[in-house]
A and B are shown apart, each in its own frame.
Chain A
Amino acid sequence: MAASGEGKSATGASGAANAGGAPVQRWGSRIGVILAVSGSAVGIGNYLRFPGLAAQYGGGAFMIPYFCALLFLAMPVGWAEWSMARYGGRKGFHSAPGIMGVVGKGRLARYLGSLGVLISLIAFMYYILVEAWCLRYAWEYLVGSYDLGADPSAYAQRSMDVFNAYVGMSRDGALLSGGVSATVVFWVIVFLLNLGLILRGLQGGIEKFCSYALPTMAILSIVVLVRVLTLGTPDPSHPELNVVTGLGYMWNPDFSKLGDFTTWLAAAGQIFFTLSVGFGVILNYASYLRKKDDVVLSGLTAAAANEVSEVGFGGLITIPASYVFLGSTMVIGSTFALGFNTLPVVFEHMGSAGRAVGFSWFFLLFLAAVASSISMLQPAKAFFEEALGLSHRRSTLMTGALCAVGSLWVIWFSQDATAMATMDFWVGNFAIFVFATVQIICFGWVFGVDRGLEEAHHGALMRIPRIFRFIMKYVAPLYLLIVLVGFCWQNLPASARSLAESPVAVETLLLVAGLLVLLLVLVRVGERRWRAAGMDLDGERPPEDDE
């Protein structure tokens, strides 16, 4: 693959300037951007959320709505994002507002593009805390300090107590008052690690980290998978609890669930979040590609790599391992319950091997989380750079300062994880659906699906099948609108009740709204800068490299 050329800095900056006047950064290689996008997509949800949902919503039958959503929703939106991003990048824009303004031809799309910055920024604020939990668990398994006691019947309760203490679930401020919790120390470590990687730039930070982290994650996944698949029947007095029945618990189809709209909604939501579409991350990452760089095969490859991790590893490890030791009494409940309450009990039952498997597992989750979280910082950093004309370093520090404030908010309001849940619902779920809908409508109807596909095929190493013209213009927007309406119908009443009952939830939502207002103001500031610089911010002219 390509190496850095002369005149490039360690961050991978080339000679050209972006909308903020700073040198444009570039990916070091074709595989580099694919690894970075895959790293962004492969996260904790691949190993915990997907298997939990599949077991809950029909086992093997869940794969039908899951792959439908992949084909008709995620791939079209994903390819649209890759194409729009590269087009915007060719015009000097690397942030969602700039790119959406160019593709959506005007101010409305540009202001809606601020969602592409808000989502990743807010998601980072709480995701970084989950990352700190993973590192803390990995560390405790490594040094042998994680202990659930000697009584197997008390493992589950003890595991829950430990987790609740680690996250400060009992009361607000539990992690910061009466001495600083170790969780906060791990939070500081992972926060600085993320910031350091972003400061090192695209090539020196994100690309390099992902080039080491993803192969390491693959090796750790294989190690854990081999251990799980060779568990056999650990307790001879319970011959029904074995690996094959565990796989059956995960994969046996229950077709009756397909008649339930919730199953289709859950599948669409999962495929969406797992591929990082609608986050604003692909919009930023792919904007550093050039006209001759492929986006079609790259988008497919990144999605396929994510699916191997999710279906190939996540689908074979978590639920079968839990079933072998705990049977159908295991707690699937939520991503966190499965990952941080149930699995430690499973590792405890594994005896002496449990410590090594536990460390491998949580370190794997930690690496997956870092590869995702650095991708959440990058869109905001790029936006501050081009809207305010800040240097790479200053925009990184500004992003870090905002994230630190928001993340400390989540750490302080830790009771029942209310602040985290509020951010996750309104931004990590609702706003993603909204932004994805905006994007596919801009691509298919404003920019034009034919022009969009022509743009996608510049330098493409494969062609998007012709049928996707119809899917991108009609099916995907309609599918998304149905999912968005269904999601609101299913979740908004409960969320509204939660807002009415919890002042912290209201205050957290106000914090999110305040940040959105700040971003909108900065879009306005950026608009003036870009216009003064003579940039084509409404996409009225072809890119300069078009001739």
Chain B
Amino acid sequence: MTAGGWFFMIASLTGVWAAAIWSFYRLVKAPPEVRDDREGGGPSPPPPSA
């Protein structure tokens, strides 16, 4: 395998894995979803700390 081959392989793999890990991390760190205040689904439950 040539140096160019290694470069493109490693750069491509790094790029796609980094994008996937970064975006999943952002999703996990995002505020939790609130699902029950929609479609007239009734009152919100108390927050976990209440």
Chain A 190-230: CB-based contact to B (< 8 A → 1; otherwise 0): 00000000000000000000000000000000000000000
Cβ contact within 8 Å between B41 and A304: no
Q: Does A2 make an interface contact (CB < 8 A)?
A: yes
Contact (A6, B27) CB under 8 Å given A251-B5, A307-B16, A307-B20: no
Q: Does A525 make an interface contact (CB < 8 A)?
A: no
- Which B residues between 25 and 42 are near A, CB-CB below 8 angstroms? 26-27, 30, 33-36, 38-42
Q: Does A312 make an interface contact (CB < 8 A)?
A: yes
Chain B residues near A (Cβ < 8 Å): 1-2, 4-9, 11-13, 15-17, 19-20, 22-24, 26-27, 30, 33-36, 38-42
Cβ contact within 8 Å between B4 and A252: yes
Q: Which residues of B contact A251 (CB under 8 A)?
A: 1, 5-6, 8-9
Contact (A24, B39) CB under 8 Å given A294-B30, A461-B27: yes
* Whole-angstrom CA separation of A300 from B36 in the bound complex: 26
Q: In whole Å, how far is B23's beta carbon from the nearest beta carbon of chain A? A: 4
- Which A residues between 440 and 495 are near B, CB-CB below 8 angstroms? 461-462
Q: Which residues of B contact A67 (CB under 8 A)?
A: 12, 15
Q: Does A248 make an interface contact (CB < 8 A)?
A: yes
* Whole-angstrom CA separation of A1 from B41 in the bound complex: 18
* Whole-angstrom CA separation of A397 from B1 in the bound complex: 53
Chain A 44-66: CB-based contact to B (< 8 A → 1; otherwise 0): 00000000000000011101000
- Which A residues between 299 and 322 are near B, CB-CB below 8 angstroms? 300-301, 304-305, 307-308, 310-312, 315-316
Which of A26-34, A129-137, A514-522 makes up part of the contact surface?
A26-34
Q: Which residues of B contact A503 (CB under 8 A)?
A: none
Q: In whole Å, how far is A481's beta carbon from the nearest beta carbon of chain B? A: 28
Cβ contact within 8 Å between A1 and B12: no
Closest residue of chain A to B45, judged by CB? A5
* Whole-angstrom CA separation of A26 from B37 in the bound complex: 13
Interchain residue pairs with CB less than 8 A apart (14) = A15-B40, A24-B39, A26-B39, A30-B27, A31-B27, A59-B8, A60-B9, A248-B5, A251-B1, A290-B38, A304-B22, A308-B17, A311-B16, A315-B13
Q: Which residues of A contact B22 (CB under 8 A)?
A: 304
Instruction: A24-B39, A34-B27, A293-B33 given; name 18 further pairs at CB < 8 Å.
Output: A5-B36, A7-B41, A14-B38, A31-B27, A63-B11, A244-B1, A245-B1, A251-B9, A252-B1, A253-B4, A298-B27, A301-B24, A304-B23, A311-B12, A311-B16, A312-B16, A316-B13, A461-B26
Q: Which residues of A contact B2 (CB under 8 A)?
A: 248, 252-253
* Whole-angstrom CA separation of A2 from B44 in the bound complex: 13
* Whole-angstrom CA separation of A253 from B42 in the bound complex: 59
Cβ contact within 8 Å between A60 and B20: no
Q: Does A16 make an interface contact (CB < 8 A)?
A: yes
* Whole-angstrom CA separation of A294 from B26 in the bound complex: 12
Closest residue of chain B to A58, judged by CB? B8
Closest residue of chain B to A8, judged by CB? B41
Q: Which residues of A contact B41 (CB under 8 A)?
A: 5-7, 14-15
Q: Does A297 make an interface contact (CB < 8 A)?
A: yes
Q: Does A292 make an interface contact (CB < 8 A)?
A: yes
Cβ contact within 8 Å between A300 and B19: yes
* Whole-angstrom CA separation of A461 from B24 in the bound complex: 11
Closest residue of chain A to B35, judged by CB? A2
Q: Which residues of B contact A387 (CB under 8 A)?
A: none
Q: Which residues of A contact B12 (CB under 8 A)?
A: 60, 63, 67, 311, 315
Of A26, A30, A253, the residue contacting B8 (CB under 8 A) is A253
Cβ contact within 8 Å between A16 and B33: no
* Whole-angstrom CA separation of A293 from B27 in the bound complex: 12
Of B8, B30, B33, B36, the residue contacting A63 (CB under 8 A) is B8
Q: Does A345 make an interface contact (CB < 8 A)?
A: no
Name which of A2, A60, A305 has the most chain B CB atoms within 10 A of its CB: A60
Q: Does A247 make an interface contact (CB < 8 A)?
A: yes
* Whole-angstrom CA separation of A74 from B7 in the bound complex: 24
Chain A 342-364: CB-based contact to B (< 8 A → 1; otherwise 0): 00000000000000000000000
